A and B are shown apart, each in its own frame.
Chain A
Amino acid sequence: MFGSYLPILVHFVVVVVVAGAIMGLSAWVGVKRPSREKLSPYECGITPVGDARGRFSISFYLVGMLFILFDVEIAFLFPWAVVYRSLGWFGFIEMFLYIVILLAGYLYIWKKGALDWTR
């Protein structure tokens, strides 16, 4: 059973080794001549202004919450997809209803402009 997950384990090991090698080598081989400019946080080349912990727009919250809700929806699609064939039309109509109900929610979000950043 676990054998089919072996590629993920191999991938995980490769990720750890490569990331560790990159960070370890640059720490070991790299020349370090720190200066005030070099140690300042990098913000796309622009001089940083103030603390990163300012007040954030509520739009982030809205997008985050909507992501969570539709993520939960996706979680139900996953067990459905593996038994889809054995369920036949019954399964199709079942999921169709489910998606249609959630589509109403999506249309509501769209209509209210909740995903529109400037409103």
Chain B
Amino acid sequence: MAPLFYIFAVLAILAALSVVLQRTPVYSALSLIVVLCSLAVVYLLLGAEFLAVIQVIIYAGAIMVLFVLVIMLLNARQETPSDRSRLARWLGAPLLLVFLGELLFAVWERFPAATTRAAALPDAGPRAVGALLFRSYVLPFEVTSILILVAVLGAVVLAKKRL
């Protein structure tokens, strides 16, 4: 398990760097898919099967469509470097290091190495999620369909020239 985690964690970080550093928006979008899929594998390793599948279906599938559409419709070309302010150039990297150090310290203090085990997590498989969703949370589930219905109407009303 551990080697798999490191492979996909490193892949996610590299792809995330690629998202930020690429100058062409479509390349960034493709790198983002790699980030999302690597995170899905990490969720799977933690035993969160449902979350992993949803990550692929919703994030890598649906949300990415949204990003690509925005790139297409905004007519995004190669990014041109902006005139960076002098303050940002000198203060950016040290502040980033301080922030990362702070984050690392907080995680270290809060979660000692012994407790960060997948076994400590509650069951997050699709069976458990399904049993909760369709027994205890029936009304919220049904209301979701109305929410999606409203979104469908909204999309058609916004994009259609003549109704």
Chain A nearest Cβ from B49, distance in angstroms: 8
For residue A72, which residue of chain B has the nearest CB? B148
Write out the residue numbers on chain A whose beta carbons fall within 8 Å of the beta carbon of B72.
Answer: 56, 60
- Asked if B57 and A61 sit within 8 Å, CB to CB, the answer is no
Over the window 65-80 of chain A, the binary record of Cβ atoms lying under 8 Å from chain B Cβ atoms (1 yes, 0 no) is: 1111101111110111
The reply on A1 being an interface residue by CB < 8 A is yes
Please, how many residues of chain A have a CB less than 8 angstroms from a CB on the other chain?
46
The reply on B77 being an interface residue by CB < 8 A is yes
Chain B nearest Cβ from A19, distance in angstroms: 14
- Asked if A62 and B155 sit within 8 Å, CB to CB, the answer is yes
Please, how many residues of chain B have a CB less than 8 angstroms from a CB on the other chain?
47
Which residues of A are interface residues toward B (Cβ below 8 A)?
A: 1-2, 5, 9, 53-56, 58-62, 64-69, 71-76, 78-80, 82-83, 86-87, 91, 94, 97-99, 101-102, 104-106, 108-109, 112, 114
Q: A74-B57, A97-B142, A99-B145 given. 14 additional CB < 8 A pairs?
A: A55-B75, A56-B73, A60-B73, A61-B73, A62-B159, A65-B66, A68-B63, A75-B54, A79-B127, A79-B133, A83-B134, A102-B152, A104-B149, A112-B160
A-B pairs with lowest CB-CB distance, top 4: A79-B130, A83-B130, A105-B152, A65-B155
Which residues of B are interface residues toward A (Cβ below 8 A)?
A: 1, 4, 44-45, 47, 50, 53-54, 57-58, 61-63, 65-66, 68-69, 72-73, 75-77, 126-127, 129-131, 133-135, 138, 141-142, 144-146, 148-149, 151-153, 155-156, 159-161, 163
